[in-house]
Amino acid sequence: MADKAFYAITSEEALKRVQTTVADGLSPDQAAQRLAQNGPNALAQGKKKTLAERFLDQFKDFMIMVLLAAALIAGFVVHEWADAGIILAVVILNAIFGVFQESKAEEAIDALAKMATPNAHVRRGGQILTIPSSELVVGDIVLLEAGDVVPADLRLVESANLQIEESALTGESVPVDKQVEPLTGADIGIGDRTNMAFMNSNITYGRGVGVVVATGMQTEVGRIAGMLNAAHETTTPLQDNLKALGKTLTIMILVIAVIVFGVGVWRGAESVPEMFLTAISLAVAAIPEGLPAIVTIILALGTQKMAKRNALVRKLPAVETLGSTDIIASDKTGTLTQNKMTVEKVYYDGALHDASAGITSANPIMTIMNFANDTQVQDDGKLLGDPTETALVAYGKTQGFDLDAALAKEPRVAEVPFDSERKLMTTIHQLADGSYLVATKGAPDQLLKRVTQLATGDEVAPLTEADQKQILSANKGMATQALRVLGMAYKHLDVLPETIDTNTIEQDLIFAGLVGMIDPERPEAAKAVAEAKAAGIRPMMITGDHQDTAEAIAARLGIIEPGDDAAVITGAELDKQSDAEFEKNVTKYSVYARVAPEHKVRIVNAWQKRGKVVAMTGDGVNDAPALKAADIGIGMGITGTEVSKGASDMVLADDNFSTIVIAVEEGRKVFSNIQKSIQYLLSANLGEVLTLFMMTMLGWDLLAPVHILWINLVTDTFPAIALGVEPTEPGIMKQKPRGRASNFFTGGVGPAVIWQGLLEGALTLGVYFIAITWPVHSSYAAIHADALTMAYATLGLIQLFHAFNVKSVHQSLFTVGAFRNKAFNWAILVSGLLLAVTILVPGFNGLFHVTTLDLFQWAIVLGAGVAIIVIVEIVKFVLRATKKR
């Protein structure tokens, strides 16, 4: 029979199990022996890839493998070493750029890491020592006080008003009251294990003593780290699309090469070896060797823009992934909310008031919330203590209450400390006339049991049953809004009783009012949620907090409609559903409360099985497994734990949820611009393939390899990169997400590539046909030399003119703006000049096997270039008109 969990046994049994005592702790020899046996109290670090491993990883992409094969064929089979060299240079530069970007992002992430390993106060051999937490072992006795970080998983053996903030582990923003009694019940969740203290949580109030029951990877935090190591790495939609594109291109190119080879051999015009080389040359010409580099450059430019807006991208494909996101599953605490308790409602004089309405510092409720309070005001003005109490003091500051001055006049002389059973706290202050003020705050239901009078304005009257019902109604109203409500009461004493306790002090109190607090939503979060919904993205909240709190915040943010209970589910309810049932029902839920890390991964997986692209935001250790499982994990740079940042694809340096919406827009623009570049490159390459294919079929003189090489170099690279920085098209954030099923050829791009590529080839062949039909020379050699030169010039210029067409798949060139993109304008100009140099500048003619053209011939070439714009504009107009009808 397995041992019971530590939370299910008494503290005495826990001490006996780990063979230690509270009075003495472990001896130094015992501690050293256990440390040597079990290792340090630290999380196992994932093995970082070396620079060489990162570099080699860049070559695992299918398109890169195709290009490497093309380079080998170009060099060793066709003996076009220049082609092979350029392809290899592009591939290597692409790999170097990818490694550089990843390393740069890692450095930025590392710069955010400021958490040092905390020390621990332990009792060993009867003495209290301060040691690094990494040296803790099971059985050590740890002393805890406010401000400490819990150094390992502990079973508490003493608790004096101990409160621990565990949001990084459980997602619950309110500190947990701790006690030492064993817990009964099966499978008690982490957030409800009130007799345990967990590694990396924070002591906010009181003090305690605990015995170490787990260290390192055996702790709850370590268990999550282990889940991360076992998590499956997902590929991004961009990686899937590029892989699919590479396979498609390979098949098409092989088919074309086989057809050319077969037809050529059948015609018998050339020998089998010659036709084999021709077919291979055609295949090499069809490969868009600049595509991986261009995609990398576009992504890198996107990362630079996002970095300026505080979004640090760790992996290049993550830039685009947000653009295809269907679901944003967000943690609540610290991500959608401020992770800071704030006063929102104040009830006094029989009415409920917004905190923003203001309250005079003379109001008794203001004095009580500040006096019955253990918050410490540091020299720099920062408040240290329980988040609920610091919220009261912070609110007092905003209302002009000077706590230091008030305490100087009316100092605290006695107190009845907070107790989790009676749920009250009282302080006693001496007034200037020698009398005493009793200030009590606590749970409204417990406080009302001790109240006999009611303060209304300057009057005090007996508390009636109607008054009590009204107060309880106000309390319930605030509670249903997920506010944490505290009651305030007071009384005056002429002399202090000999015994200061709840029976002598906390009786016959005067009720002053109620204060409602909440961890409020971030100011910009509601707008970000609305923008996400407008973009067709479904925002969801996943939190370890209570259901009522989660539902209220979600309704305030617009994630769900107020009162939509059916959209809310708890972790316990989720456990009752099988994976198949949950996958079927997952569309019903938008809010998940009281969930564990396993639940978050399950939620992400359920949506992914439905073909959705899932983004997960979070800052806690508990978010890390889901961050890694999601298509894109978004960590928080300031409040985020190092575990969550390490599991993320992107980190928000400002922890601002609205930055995600900016990233979504940038991601959509990046994909749109990659589509434009692919449309441009593939239609251009298709035009080249068609030209060479038909020249082979018709027995015409072929364009030389140097022609194709130069056209690819000057017309593919610069315009394609410039298309990658096109401005965002209007309405991009009103479109539905593309989702995982989409690819680079959706949205009309695929058909456009085909018919526009065929059009480029047809126009080029048409110019060649005109040149040989109406020659300006008489000799056969001169005629075909001019025809090849005109075909070469036309093929290059048509591609440059066509670059204007692909600024938008459907919209007119004149709607999107022909010359808005300055980088594009320069790219076209430079590419055009580089093409013209090979024909117009003396000395280049022989090198490129071209002739000098006269004005009539140039007019034909330019006419073909302009024709592609005119024809494409006409087709776009017809398609738009047809769609409208």
Supply the pLDDT for residue 102: 58
- For residues 609-637, give the mean pLDDT: 83
| Mean pLDDT lowest among 257-271, 407-421, 422-436, 782-796 | 257-271
Distance CA 17, CA 668 (A): 57
Q: How confident is the model at residue 584 (pLDDT cuts 50, 70, 90)?
A: very high
pLDDT at 470 over 60: yes
Q: How many CB atoms lie within 10 A of CB 25?
A: 25
| Mean pLDDT lowest among 488-492, 807-811, 864-868 | 807-811
Supply the pLDDT for residue 658: 78
Supply the pLDDT for residue 28: 92
Q: What number does CATH give the domain 237-309+669-728+743-884? A: 1.20.1110.10
- For residues 153-169, give the mean pLDDT: 86
3-state secondary structure 480-546: HCCCEEEEEEEEEECCCCCCCCHHHHCCCEEEEEEEEEECCECCCHHHHHHHHHHCCCEEEEECCCC
- For residues 102-111, give the mean pLDDT: 49
Distance CA 135, CA 130 (A): 10
- For residues 374-399, give the mean pLDDT: 87
- For residues 577-591, give the mean pLDDT: 94
For the sheet containing 327-331, what is the strand order? 311-313, 650-652, 632-636, 614-618, 327-331, 538-542, 591-593, 568-570
Phi-psi group of 724: left, alpha or beta (phi > 0 → left; psi -120 to 50 → alpha; rest → beta): alpha
Q: What is the pLDDT of residues 726-776, one digit of tens each?
A: 888 777 888 888 777 677 777 788 889 889 999 999 999 999 999 888 877
DSSP 783: H
Q: How many CB atoms lie within 10 A of CB 778?
A: 7
Q: How confident is the model at residue 108 (pLDDT cuts 50, 70, 90)?
A: very low
| 487 vs 382: which has the higher pLDDT | 487
CATH class of 342-518: alpha beta
Half-sphere exposure of 7 (CA within 13 A, CB side): 19
Supply the pLDDT for residue 97: 60
Supply the pLDDT for residue 86: 61
Q: How confident is the model at residue 115 (pLDDT cuts 50, 70, 90)?
A: very low
Domain 318-338+522-662 is found in CATH 3.40.190.10: no
Give the tokens for residue 246. Answer: 């590479």
Q: What is the pLDDT of residues 208-223, one digit of tens each?
A: 999 999 998 888 878 7
Give the tokens for residue 567. Answer: 């959209």
Catalytic pick among 331, 467, 519, 631: 331
Residues 6+ apart with CB under 8 A from 319: 299, 302, 303, 306, 313, 666, 667, 670
Q: Hey, what amino acid is at 655?
A: D
CB 299 within 8 Å of CB 102: no
- For residues 89-107, give the mean pLDDT: 62
- For residues 771-788, give the mean pLDDT: 78
- For residues 720-727, give the mean pLDDT: 84
Supply the pLDDT for residue 352: 94
Supply the pLDDT for residue 110: 46
pLDDT at 802 over 90: yes
pLDDT at 134 over 60: yes
H-helix or E-strand containing 128? Answer: strand 127-132
Supply the pLDDT for residue 690: 84
pLDDT at 39 over 50: yes
Distance CA 40, CA 36 (A): 8
- For residues 646-668, give the mean pLDDT: 81
Residues 6+ apart with CB under 8 A from 573: none
Global pTM value? 0.67
| Mean pLDDT lowest among 94-98, 352-356, 780-784 | 94-98
Residue 110 bears catalytic tag: no
Supply the pLDDT for residue 238: 64
**What are the residue boundaries of the structural domains of the chain, listed by start?**
237-309+669-728+743-884, 318-338+522-662, 342-518
Q: Do domains 237-309+669-728+743-884 and 342-518 have the same CATH topology?
A: no
- For residues 852-865, give the mean pLDDT: 91
If you average pLDDT over every residue of the chain, what do you get? Answer: 83
pLDDT at 495 over 70: yes
pLDDT at 556 over 80: yes
| 366 vs 740: which has the higher pLDDT | 366
| Mean pLDDT lowest among 137-146, 358-367, 774-783 | 774-783
Q: Helix or strand or coil: residue 63?
A: helix
pLDDT at 67 over 50: yes
- For residues 813-837, give the mean pLDDT: 88
Residue 434 CA, distance from chain mean position:
60
Torsion sign (Cα): 275, 279, 284, 288: positive
Supply the pLDDT for residue 274: 60
Distance CA 748, CA 3 (A): 63
pLDDT at 79 over 70: no
**Percent of the chain scoring above 90 in pLDDT:** 36
- For residues 136-144, give the mean pLDDT: 95
Supply the pLDDT for residue 52: 78
Supply the pLDDT for residue 105: 44
**Percent of the chain scoring above 70 in pLDDT:** 85
CB 570 within 8 Å of CB 591: no
Q: How confident is the model at residue 106 (pLDDT cuts 50, 70, 90)?
A: low
pLDDT at 240 over 50: yes
pLDDT at 57 over 60: yes
pLDDT at 236 over 90: no
- For residues 55-76, give the mean pLDDT: 69
Supply the pLDDT for residue 113: 38
Supply the pLDDT for residue 251: 77
